[in-house]
Amino acid sequence: MTFVIGRLIGPIIAGVLIATFDTGTPFIYIAGSHIVIFLVLMQIRMEDLYQTSSDSASGNLREAFVFLNKNRALYLPMMITATFIGLGMSFSLISSLMVRQVFEEDSLHLGFVGIALAIGGLIGAGVIAKRSVSDHRPRFQTMLSGGIILGFFWSLAAIAPTFWSYALIVLFVNLSHLIVMTTANGIIVWNSPIDLQGRIYGIYLFVFHLGYGIGAPLLGVLAKEIGIRFMVGTGGVLVLLLSATLLRSSKSQSI
Cα pseudo-dihedral 173, 179, 182, 187, rounded to 10 = -130
Domains of the chain: which residue ranges?
2-39+73-250
Asked if 112 and 167 touch (Cβ cutoff 8 Å), the reply is: yes
In this prediction, residue 100 has a pLDDT band, given cuts at 50, 70 and 90, of confident
Model-level pTM greater than 0.85? Answer: no
Question: Which pLDDT belongs to residue 51?
Answer: 59
DSSP calls for 14-71: HHHHHHHS-TTHHHHHHHHHHHHHHHHHTT--GGG----S-TT----HHHHHHHHHHS
| Higher pLDDT among residues 253 and 156, named by residue | 156
Per CATH, which fold does 2-39+73-250 belong to?
Answer: Growth Hormone; Chain: A; (1.20.1250)
In angstroms, the Cα distances linking 148 to 39, 76, 141 are 42, 16, 11
**Which residues does 200 contact at the CB level (< 8 Å), separation at least 6?**
64, 67, 68, 74, 188, 192
For 159, which DSSP code?
T
State how far the Cα of 160 lies from the Cα of 199, in Å rounded to an integer. 41
pLDDT digit string (tens) for 124-171? Answer: 877 777 765 555 678 888 889 989 999 999 999 999 999 999 999 999
pLDDT at 240 over 90: yes
Average pLDDT over residues 243-250: 87
Residue type (1 letter), 127: V
What is the SS3 assignment for 255?
coil
State how far the Cα of 236 lies from the Cα of 231, in Å rounded to an integer. 9
